[in-house]
Structure 1
Amino acid sequence: MGSSYDPPLAGIRILDLSSGPMTAVGRLLADLGAHVTAVELAGVTGNVEVGPRFGPVALATAINRLGVAPLGIDASTPAGRQRWDGLVDAADILIEDTRPGSAAERLLGVDEIRAAHPGLIVLSLSDFGRDNDFSGWQSTTPVLHALTSELSRSGMPGREPLVPPGEQLPYHVAAAQAAVAVLSVLLDRLRTGAGDRIDFAIVEGAMQALDPPFGTMGTASAGVPVAQQNRNWAAERLRYPITACRDGYIRICLLAKRQWHGMFEWMGRPEEFADPRFEGLRERLTSASLWSAIGAFCADKTRADLEQNGQKHGVPTAAVLSMTEALTAEQVTARGFFGHAEFSPGLVAPVPRGVVEVDGQRAYAVTAPVHAERGPTSAPILAQRRRTDQGLPLEGLRVLDLGVIVVGADTGRLFGDLGADVIKIENAAFPDGMRPGRNLMNASFAGGHRNKRAIGIDLRSAEGRTLAHRLVEEADVVLTNFKPGVAAGLAMDHDTLMSVNPGIVVVDSSAFGPTGPWAQRLGYGPLVRAAAGFTKQWVYPSDPDEFCDTVTVYPDHVSARIGVVAALSLLVRRERTGQGGAASIAQSEVMLSHLAAEIAGEALARDGHERSDAAAYDAPWGLFRADGEDAWLAVTVRDDDDWRALCGVLERPDLAGDPELATKAGRDRYRTRIDQAVSEWTCRRSPADGMILLQAAGVPAGAVMQAADLPQWEYYAQRRAFREELHPHGKEPYVLENAQLHSERIADPPLGQAPLLGEQTVEIATTLLGLDDAAVAGLLERGVLQTAPEARRV
């Protein structure tokens, strides 16, 4: 790391009392330069560990604690209390995960801490939040997947839903959402002095950041909202098809006409597919004869040949790699994404070296600094901006959004939901691929681009670039997610824009990162999953060649949140230095970071180290049939207390009293017997009834919900998670996400509706660019500016 590198969050002091998978929040912030102290506070902090363990080392937590200073305190002693009070006095942020209503929560006394330190930001993590009737419920990875609706879209029809790979995947994506919340509140505190308490529910964060059922959807959905997508195996396999080849499998993407034209040429222009109807996306996705021909074309070729020639013809392709192949791929090696960490003497394993590049350097906390200068305590730049106390922490910021498809939509939308003035810049000749048409609107675009204004500018022209640069002069952030090099060609890259506005923050996101041999590859989420080893793992153990990751749009939504975290961090640094900065995110690296513990564990096992942990959960764990068509219930038992509680709910004292089942090892040995007992109970009840009974007893359980069920579930209703919005260009109301964070001071998102292409062009040109009517008319006539035509409802 270069000596000139200035970590964005340098001097920000964080006390982290969390344990278990949500320690990923502290890791994200530490990588960006915050001084994070992992405090073990007697009577308060827990000891939740999941995932691979080698000797005393729990890998997931150990990885999250790299670069984090450990500290144990017993606040019941005078000396310990004095030390704890001193740490809180100096802290900017406190992260805690006490269970709502527990003795630990009372002992910590967050309300008293907030009263004594009104400028402190407290991030309170819990499974279901603290302000609702479900605050005592508990979650695990399968339960989170069930209650976010992810499981309803994963797996083969007729079989149990398939839990996606990654023991802690829902927690990792929720951690990114939590980091967005913390940093947006921190940025606002710098100009107001007011702290806050954020009531963060992990289930909600996982729902919003993994594969949101009412969020933006991928192009291959062919206009079918996520909320209407179920496990239709035949349709799923045609969205991003995987085809067998000589040495494995290849995934091919033919979403755009130009991609189909490339495939047509590559195949030798077969006459049977020359019909113009194949230029239609739906025709291509549903043509069994076409994909049969593509399969025959690929059968005798290697993955490497198909990747090379696919890219040459402009056809996005990616080999389906194993995790080992993915980790040794030339792109991962060239970018130096993995380094090695020693967790204990002789216990050395590969770990990710940060998921954000800042100013061309990897943002990665190698060691915790012993001394750190204080971070900014005020906001000399943002203090000059208008603020109306509407509870929107990013009010006064201006964001220029050049982003496209899902990552682009979500990154800008999060800024808009939190109060920023977001201006979407688009060219009618190259519209956002997620738009249903220039004068059309659908649920996906409405959800992904709400709270934005739109201006149409032709950035290919010198006049258009001049106008865009005038907007940059008064902007704070520019967002892009083009293929590397495209933004520079449009003069909208950081190197160009910093000469226009030295304080500008530019964030770019791409499939594989801005450097390396794969930088220029066309990459959509499913291609990234294939190349990162994720697709290969998203299978039933009994059917390793039936890949089940097609419908999800992961990692797009979580990558967007990492982009927002990077931008907010650079805005915090700007208040300290007056200078902007650049951040880059590789979506493939975000994904690999979510498997960090598994990757390290496999490497250690190959080196001869033995795991010392048992399975993540006792028997039973997994999905059980419930009463109803395709009805399922996720049930997990973590320990002896859960086992006794389960036996009580099942009314099976014979199981509770059986000495062979008294230990975790015994329950695992007799899993078939236990699973049968649970199944006999669940199949007589609806998923919702079974979930309620088990959760009331303290057993983590979750009904496998369809996306359309979520807005009606009382939990999400109490958390104001969704809202209906009647868009002026929509036929019927759309269901959209609502609250992005819950706190003492932050309001729900504004009601700004997604714009048509160039809908506010004239308004922005006259008010922000200062052009008169005649100048605007001339620019419109020459096509430098573009505005929305008459809209049609769809």
Structure 2
Amino acid sequence: MTEKSTALSHLKVLDLTRVRAGPTCCRVLADFGADVIKIEAPQGFDPNAGMSGARHGYDMLNLHRNKRSMTLNLKKPEGRALFLRMVKTADVVVENFRPDVKDRLGIGYDDLAAVNPRIILASISGFGQDGPYARRAGFDQIAQGMGGLMGVTGMPGGVPIRAGAAVADSSAGIFAATGILVALAEREKSGQGQWVATSLLEAQIALMDFQAARYLVDGDVPPPAGNDHPYVTPMGVVETADGYLNLGVGGQGQWVAFCNVIDQPELAEHPDYATDTARFAHRGALWDHLRPVFAQRTTADWVLALEAGGVPAGPIYTMDEVFADPQVRHLGMAAPVHHPVRGETALVATPIKMSRTPPSVHASAPDAGAQTDEILAEYGLSPEEVAQLRAAHTI
């Protein structure tokens, strides 16, 4: 099994999260070696259990690797008291309840800071901690729609299309992890913790980046452009003799090189296509001219020819083709791990390289409560006390 990362091994994280955004945040910290304790309700006490699929399913395995798991009923006074006892020596608490839930449970930021002023609470919600939508339940696709992604995704004149991955969830988790790391760095100066908050809606809007800035700066509402780049041509998908190709001609130098690759150097000086602005104005005609050209050769042939000419291009893979690609194999994006039920398998690696303290996938996702006794012993509870808590359904 891969060796555990040492980068964040000095940190203890209490993970109260579920579904995707919160678990993604905690997974980032766990992959870098933080002791992440996944706190789950005892069996039968969580009406939303199973929202990430089967316990030994691919999603749970990928989201919760490198963590330890214990069960704890926070609705019981004894459970809350035990949690606050854990908070005293923790560095970070992460939760993605609806904003009012933590206050109702008595584990809001002020409650945590009262027992540990150095604690960092990270909260991830659907729409923010306050405001008119604060108590709404939020899901990734809803945030994709309200954050503008679906408004620019799809074919011109067609219906809005969701992205094929949980863009808002995943980015909210990564933004939360970033906020936690900033708060930890600041704590080195001040000695104080703080409350870090983000939401699916905020994360999705931030991820819109230039499309959002396009509206804020110029007042221009970007429409869906299908597979074409919003303002650069030719940059998009073109059909080849055996499939499809992503083509990216991103400037005047690449345009001239591209025309040479397709053996039409005179096209570079054509008045309709000689400049970026002209090419965009005549986008439809240019693609009509290029389609029969690309239909003459295979995707692999075009990728090699365009690479030789310094023009960005790439194939469009299905997921099996992604992990068969030699560059993906070289990057190690399939991280091997052993699971006691699934056996030898692989999960999606953390996409960060570090020269001394790299991330790792060192342990499979635990079963619910697998380390409850072990963790409570670390907090000084005797086997008899643990047995009493279990009998009372507190754990």
Match of 2:25 in 1: 411
Q: Gaps (5+ residues) in structure 1?
A: 1-388, 608-614, 786-794
8 Å CA contact 2:4–2:362 kept in 1: the answer is no
Within 2, Cα distance between the matches of 1:593 and 1:688? Answer: 35
Asked if the contact 2:235/2:249 (under 8 Å) is kept, the reply is yes
Q: CA deviation at 1:735?
A: 3.3
Deviations 1:160-212 (A, max 9, x none): xxxxxxxxxxxxxxxxxxxxxxxxxxxxxxxxxxxxxxxxxxxxxxxxxxxxx
Instruction: Report how far residue 667 of structure 1 moved.
Output: 3.1
- Give the aligned partner of residue 754 of structure 1: 365
In structure 2, distance between residues paired with 1:603 and 1:476: 38
1:486 CA displacement: 0.8
Match of 1:574 in 2: 187
Report the counterpart of residue 779 of structure 1 in structure 2.
389
Q: 1:778 to 1:638 in 2, by over 3 A?
A: same
Is the Cα–Cα contact under 8 Å of residues 390 and 747 in structure 1 kept in the other structure?
no
Match of 2:233 in 1: 619
Tell me which residue corresponds to 1:504. Answer: 119
747-756 or 457-466: bigger deviation: 747-756
Output the CA distance in 1 between the equivalents of 2:281 and 2:180: 50
1:598 Cα deviation from its structure 2 partner: 3.7
Deviations 1:141-168 (A, max 9, x none): xxxxxxxxxxxxxxxxxxxxxxxxxxxx
How has the CA–CA distance of structure 1 residues 603 and 656 changed in structure 2, closer, same or farther, with 3 Å as cutoff? closer
Distance in 2 (CA, whole Å) between partners of 1:618 and 1:783 is 61
Measured against aligned partners, the alpha-carbon deviations of 1:682-734 in whole angstroms (never above 9, x if no partner) come to 3344434422331332112121122222211111111112223342122x654
Hey, what does 1:466 align to over in structure 2? Answer: 81
Residue 648 of structure 1 is matched in structure 2 by 260
- RMSD of equivalent CA atoms: 2.4
**Aligned mate of 1:436, from 48, 53, 58:** 53
Distance in 2 between the 1:565 and 1:406 partners?
A: 16
Deviations 1:215-254 (A, max 9, x none): xxxxxxxxxxxxxxxxxxxxxxxxxxxxxxxxxxxxxxxx
Q: Output the TM-score relative to the length of structure 2.
A: 0.89
Residue 472 to residue 620, structure 1, CA distance change in 2 (3 Å): same
Q: Distance in 1 between matches of 2:240 and 2:338?
A: 36
Amino acid paired to 2:194: G
Would the alpha carbon gap of residues 463 and 390 (structure 1) be closer, same or farther in structure 2, given more than 3 Å must change?
closer
Query: CA separation of 1:458/1:635 partners in 2, compared to 1, >3 Å: closer, same or farther?
Result: same
Q: Distance in 2 between matches of 1:528 and 1:672?
A: 32
How many Å separate the matches in 1 of 2:23 and 2:317?
26
Q: CA contact under 8 A between 1:425 and 1:455: conserved in structure 2? A: yes
Instruction: Give the Cα–Cα distance (whole angstroms) in 1 for the partners of residues 50 and 274 of structure 2.
Output: 57
Q: CA deviation at 1:752?
A: 1.1
Structure 2 residue aligned with 1:770: 380
Q: Is the 8 A contact 2:149 2:208 kept in 1?
A: no
1:635-658 per-residue CA deviation (whole Å, 9 max, x = no partner) reads 121222111211222122342454
Q: Alignment length, in residue pairs? A: 382
The CA distance in 2 between the partners of 1:509 and 1:761, in whole Å, is: 25
CA contact (8 A) 2:336 2:361 kept: no
The aligned counterpart of 1:51 is: none
Kept after mapping to 2: 8 A contact 1:405/1:432? no
* Counterpart in the other structure of 2:329: 717
Corresponding residue of 1:447:
62
TM-score normalised by length of structure 1:
0.46
AA in 2 matched with 1:708: D
Rounded Cα–Cα distance in structure 1 between residues aligned with 2:188 and 2:249 = 48
Among 160, 164, 167, the alignment partner of 1:554 is 167
Q: Does structure 1 residue 399 correspond to structure 2 residue 9? A: no
Which amino acid is the alignment partner of residue 392 of structure 2? R
Match of 1:423 in 2: 37
The amino acid that maps onto 2:234 is P
Percent identity over the alignment is 29
What SS class does the counterpart of residue 20 from structure 2 fall into? helix
Residues 563 and 777 from structure 1, CA distance in 2 versus in 1: closer, same or farther, beyond 3 angstroms? same
Contact preservation (8 Å) 1:507, 1:563: yes
Say if 2:245 is the partner of 1:633: yes
The 1:762/1:703 distance shift into structure 2, 3 A limit, reads: same
Letter in 1 for 2:355: E
Q: Which of 589, 593, 607 is 2:206 aligned to?
A: 593
Structure 2, gaps ≥5 residues long: 221-228
C-alpha spacing 1:577/1:658, structure 2 compared with 1 (3 Å):
closer
Alignment correspondent of 1:209 = none
| C-alpha distance after superposition, 1:544-563 (max 9, x if no partner) | xx221064311111111110
Counterpart mapping for 1:679-698 below 5 A: 679-698=291-310
> Which one-letter code corresponds to 2:348 in the other structure?
E
